[in-house]
Amino acid sequence: MTRLKVLIIDEFDAEGLIEKSLQSYGYEIATLKLRALNLLTVVKTLQPDVVVLNLYTPDAAVLNMMRAINQQHPVPVVMFAEDQQTDTINQVINAGVSAYIVDGLEPKRLKAIIDIAIARFRAQQELKDELQKTKNQLEDRKLIDRAKGILCKSQGYSEDEAYHALRKLAMDRNIALGEMARNVIAMAELFK
Residue 116 domain-assigned (yes or no):
no
Q: Which residue has the higher pLDDT, 52 or 18?
A: 52
Convert the pLDDT of each residue in 101-137 to its tens digit.
Answer: 987 778 788 889 999 999 999 999 999 999 999 999 9
139 shares a domain with 85: no
5, pLDDT greater than 90:
yes
pLDDT of 16: 78
Q: CA 137 to CA 155: how far, in whole Å?
A: 26
Does the reported pTM lie above 0.95?
Answer: no
Residue 52: which domain range?
5-105
Q: CA 113 to CA 78: how far, in whole Å?
A: 8
82 shares a domain with 12: yes
Residue 58 domain-assigned (yes or no):
yes
> How far are the Cα atoms of 22, 82, 87, 104, 116 from residue 63, in angstroms, in the given order?
24, 15, 12, 20, 21
pLDDT of 13: 65
Convert the pLDDT of each residue in 20-48 to its tens digit.
Answer: 888 888 899 988 887 667 888 888 988 99
pLDDT of 116: 93
53, pLDDT greater than 80:
yes
Q: CA 15 to CA 20: how far, in whole Å?
A: 9
